[in-house]
Amino acid sequence: MIRLATSAALAALLLPSSAFAASQAGPAFAITRVEGHAVGDSHGAGRDGLGPDAERAAVTEMRANIARLGLQDTHAFSLSAKNAAALQWPMLVADGLPGDERSVTSNHVDHDGTFPAKLRDYSCGTRTYDTAAGYNHRGTDIGLWPFGWQTMAQESVAVTAAAGGRIVLRRDGRYDRNCSMDAPDDPNMVFVQHDDGTVGWYLHLKKDSLTAKQVGQRVEAGEYLGAVGSSGVSTGPHLHFELRADNSNSAAVIDPYQGQCNAVASRWAEQPEYLAPRLLAVATHDAAPVVDAGCGQPENPNYQRVFEPGDTVYVAAYYGDQVPNRASTIVMRDPAGAEVVRFNHAPTSADMQGAAYWQASYWYFQLDIPANATPGRYQIEVSYEGKSHTTSLLIGAPVYAASGLWFDPAQSGHGFTVEVIESGGAPQLSVAWFTYLDGEPRWLFGIAPIVGNGATLPMLISTGGQFPPAFDPAAVDFVPWGSLQFTFSAEDRAQITWNSTVEGFGTGSLQLQRAAKASDVNLDSFDSGLRACMSGSWYAPSQSGHGLQLLVTGEGAARQLLVAWYVYENGKQLWLSGAGAATADGATIALNRTGGAQFPPDFDPADVTIAPWGNVQFQLVDPQHLRLTWGDANVLDLQRSTQIVSAACL
């Protein structure tokens, strides 16, 4: 059981900016409000393991699987004689996301067999629960925090095997957004019989997220089992991890933690602290984050990393097991690295409503950006209990919000993919121009630091490659093409000028407008399809020299994936493009090849020829990896090359 709805615990302080030490050498950044919330109830009543009937049915199914597979019965083993496996933590943040944990532990095994409200966890505390019906909690509850429902929708946290072994039960297809102790007692789950004979129960998984491996197949410690969900009897997205001594009908519960009230050797390779005050994440928002949107509804974090002078930034820090009178240090640095804000924040016991700790909490600091703030990249660092998290924001230039697909409306048929990224600690403009020369497709690529409202990019052109799988990076020759000047008058309007040293391209200018931009990362939901942050550039590390730019656009069920593949055919450049519906885990896109036109200013849309090329399939692996397939079993495993600032994975 886990409850992660905003509680009544609240501390709000209206503070003058003089309460904080800040550099006043430049424009004055003012902190005007500090507000904190506790989220959750670590001592709530309820049941989230399996009830007697559901447990009996699950164990019966598991034992039938064991008999069918010819696996060894482990109930006759002596516990003391076992070479007990050292358990790994059974949850893992997806690759490419900030932070190394997105969870809090809410409940442990209840060692007091009486009820109700007779609680004793392994440390002789009360971080557990029982019910009036006689259920004493039998596992470890690990809940998603912050933004549990959105994190679940995005499958940002995986459930992994705590130890190696064989899958002996696998159940999927059950509804996964429950918020009730009266929900059907039938969660999506995986049971793993570990090599030491114990059996790990992994409950409440997200529907259709389970590993492709089936009953009888082996998994190793740390291997993916599924995504965190809220199926079965559950009040919010979490994992109930339960360890049983063997695979019998009456297997004893093993509490993997060692403590005063469970004086046995710990089963964990590294046992977590009982009370572990820690900083989980730091982010910037354009409004106070919404941490509770209702049962089964993804929260709206109001994430934002691009601001204008005069805007208000909400800098939020997210904590687990926060205790009173422990200070966080918040530092903000300007584009030159100079401190513009530094202050300590240590909520008192009164601020925290007299609580000994807040299991899950957040504080936001309302920061007013001065009208004369220096444009550029600002860095924010929050330090707490010996650990720091950093984030950045961009202030003051239209170009910072300009990522997307661009074109000249008078010259539809060629255009630009524009990405505002961070590289080397500075904002950069990455541009690919898909165009033509003498009727054949050409593409140009460049990247440069953003200066003022634009960038001057040294562009490259290439030759020599073959279409994969015959592509050989050694055959590709990149040569300088010339310079491309981008100047943005607004986030959706720009002018370009160019000066090429390659024959046939010459000089010229165009007035551009944005045709499409990335979806809002705040609106990722269970029904919105591919998450917005998959926008960016992708390539296969073994085939550096060609690649793809993806743009997730639209909202809700209307989300689309726009694709441009910059590649080669018979030693010449080729670009393929297309768009299609984006599902939660990928997309199938019909690509077209084009030709027939000239380079501007001689470009005429009527000259463009379009021919179907074929379908490609994208399969989401994690925020850093995609699998691309096409034709007769052609496969490329893609890795992210760039992350758009305004659509970053968070």
- Of the candidates 632, 373, 413, the one whose C-alpha atom is nearest the C-alpha of residue 515 is 413
Mean pLDDT of 25-54: 72
Report angle CA 239, 245, 251 to the nearest 5 degrees.
95
Residues 565-600: pLDDT tens digits? 999 999 999 999 999 998 888 899 999 999 999 999
Q: What percent of the chain has pLDDT over 90?
A: 82
Top pLDDT among 230 and 73 is at 230
Mean pLDDT of 182-202: 95
Residues 594-614: pLDDT tens digits? 999 999 999 999 999 999 999
pLDDT at 21 over 60: no
Contact 90, 160 (CB under 8 A): yes
Residues 344-369: pLDDT tens digits? 999 999 999 999 999 999 999 999 99
Q: Do domains 6-41+279-395 and 399-465+473-513 have the same CATH topology?
A: no
Confidence bin at 22 (pLDDT 50/70/90): very low
pLDDT at 82 over 60: no
Rounded CA-CA distance 322/576 in Å is 52
The DSSP annotation for 440-489 comes to: EEEEEEEEEE-BTTEEEEEEEEEE----TTS--GGG-EEEEEEEEEEEEE
Q: What share of the chain is helix, strand, coil (3-state, %, to 5)?
A: 10, 45, 45
Confidence bin at 3 (pLDDT 50/70/90): very low
pLDDT at 240 over 50: yes
pLDDT at 77: 57
Confidence bin at 636 (pLDDT 50/70/90): very high
pLDDT at 466 over 90: yes
pLDDT at 273 over 70: yes
Residue whose structure tokens are 């530094």: 342
Domain ranges of the chain: 6-41+279-395, 52-254, 399-465+473-513, 521-647
pLDDT at 74 over 90: no
pLDDT at 145 over 60: yes
Rounded CA-CA distance 341/331 in Å is 6
327: number of Cβ within 10 Å? 13
- Of the candidates 520, 516, 608, the one whose C-alpha atom is nearest the C-alpha of residue 562 is 516
Report CA 89 to chain centroid distance, whole Å: 19
CATH ID of 399-465+473-513, from 2.40.30, 2.40.128, 1.10.12, 1.10.4160: 2.40.128
pLDDT at 387 over 90: yes
Top pLDDT among 24 and 59 is at 59
Rounded CA-CA distance 102/301 in Å is 14
Mean pLDDT of 425-451: 97
638: number of Cβ within 10 Å? 22
- Mean pLDDT score of the chain, rounded to an integer? 91
- Of the candidates 563, 572, 544, the one whose C-alpha atom is nearest the C-alpha of residue 630 is 563
Please enumerate, as own/partner, the contacts of 154-157 that have beta carbons within 8 Å and a separation of 24 or more: 154/524, 154/531, 155/94, 155/206, 155/209, 155/227, 156/93, 156/94, 156/97, 156/102, 156/623, 156/649, 157/91, 157/92, 157/93, 157/94, 157/102, 157/103, 157/227, 157/228
Confidence bin at 27 (pLDDT 50/70/90): confident
Task: Quote the tokens at residue 321.
Answer: 């097991």
The DSSP annotation for 17-47 comes to: GGGSB---SSS--EEEEEEEEEE--TT----
Confidence bin at 26 (pLDDT 50/70/90): low
Of 95-109, 175-189, 354-368, 628-642, give the lowest mean pLDDT range. 95-109
Rounded CA-CA distance 335/159 in Å is 39
Contact 212, 248 (CB under 8 A): no
Q: In this structure, what are the phi and psi dihedrals at residue 475, rounded to the nearest 5 degrees?
A: -85, -10
Q: Let me know if domain 52-254 sits in CATH 3.40.250.10.
A: no
Confidence bin at 421 (pLDDT 50/70/90): very high
CATH homologous superfamily of 6-41+279-395 equals Macroglobulin (MG2) domain (2.60.40.1930)
pLDDT at 558: 82
Rounded CA-CA distance 102/93 in Å is 7
Report CA 339 to chain centroid distance, whole Å: 29
pLDDT at 8: 35
Rounded CA-CA distance 371/293 in Å is 33
Mean pLDDT of 189-196: 96
pLDDT at 157 over 80: yes
Q: What percent of the chain has pLDDT over 70?
A: 93
Residues 476-519: pLDDT tens digits? 999 999 999 999 999 999 999 999 999 999 999 999 999 999 99
pLDDT at 163: 98
Mean pLDDT of 434-450: 97
Mean pLDDT of 370-380: 95
Classify 280 in phi/psi space as left (phi over 0), alpha (psi -120 to 50) or beta. Answer: alpha
Judged by DSSP in three states, 399 sits in: helix
